[in-house]
Structure 1
Amino acid sequence: MCYYPSGQSFAVFYNGEQHSSLGGLIKLGEITSNLSGFENIDDSIEMTIDLVN
């Protein structure tokens, strides 16, 4: 999972796409299990990310 501040975008690299040609990506973390939710989504979606304590 990465944040791209220049484009104000959040990206999840999935299915072996670990590298991007964009510079300035800030790695936020990794999803290590249950990736099934990413299998049938479009290229662009709306999502909410919450901080969990």
Structure 2
Amino acid sequence: MSDRDKDAEILPLRHQITVLEHQLRTGKVRFTPRDRAFPAALLYRLPFDVVRR
């Protein structure tokens, strides 16, 4: 796996953590369509075999 692939996997995870940390302050955890769109857009750029893992 290249460094670019690793970075592309890390970015959506960081985004999810940020969303969850923000929502935990309010006491309710829910992903909105906007929260899901960012990781989906990043995963779209990854090779299919990487996404399947």
**Structure-1-length-normalised TM-score:** 0.24
> Which of the two has greater strand per residue?
1
**Structure-2-length-normalised TM-score:** 0.24
